[in-house]
Amino acid sequence: MESFWFLGSTISQDLKWETHIDSILKKAQKRLYFLRQLRKFNLPQELLTWFYSAVIESVLCTSITVLFGSATKSDRRRLQWVVQTAERIIGAPLPTLQDLYSSRVRKRPGKIISDTSHPGHNLLELLPSGQRLRALTTTTIRPKNSFCPQAVSLISSELSSRNDDHSPCRSLSLNISKTF
């Protein structure tokens, strides 16, 4: 299988994330070794958690908004295995990759909406009603699991749950950018 390294991501010829996830797992496993060593030196859980967040979670979350939605179930399980291993080493609960993905998907659209020069700005526009974002239509599963459709459905569901504020479309878009 042909693949190449571009801007920190391994891109395969078939545009699947398996090779990139393999490289992420290799990095994370190497860093788990250092977490185990720190645990042997009896560092407090708080410091071990900080180390995990800075050194291991940062590797796991590289491109998470792009790859997590289109990753296979087995690839997601392999990534989550790293988190579970770190939990056992630290002895404290850690956020799941699904939680990390959701929080990042909530934050990113606000930045895109507020930046009119962003290439994805037009993909995240409110409907005239101001209560939902315009949904992107696709015919296959893979694009539906990508970032923009996931962000649109997440934000639209949050906007519809805030129906008690009947403000115009413009103020909703400002609220989106402040919230996210």
Question: Tens digits of per-residue pLDDT, 124-151?
Answer: 777 777 667 776 777 777 676 677 777 7
Global pTM reads 0.71
- pLDDT at position 89: 96
Contacts of residue 140, Cβ cutoff 8 Å, sequence gap at least 6:
none
- pLDDT at position 167: 43
- Give the model confidence (pLDDT) of 27-80 as tens digits: 999 999 999 999 999 999 999 999 999 999 998 888 887 778 778 899 999 999
152 phi/psi in degrees, rounded to 5: -60, -45
Q: CA-to-CA distance for 75 and 17, rounded, in angstroms?
A: 8
9 phi/psi in degrees, rounded to 5: -125, 145
Domain ranges of the chain: 3-95, 104-179
Q: CA-to-CA distance for 57 and 121, rounded, in angstroms?
A: 28
Asked if 52 and 87 count as a contact pair (C-beta separation under 8 A), the reply is no
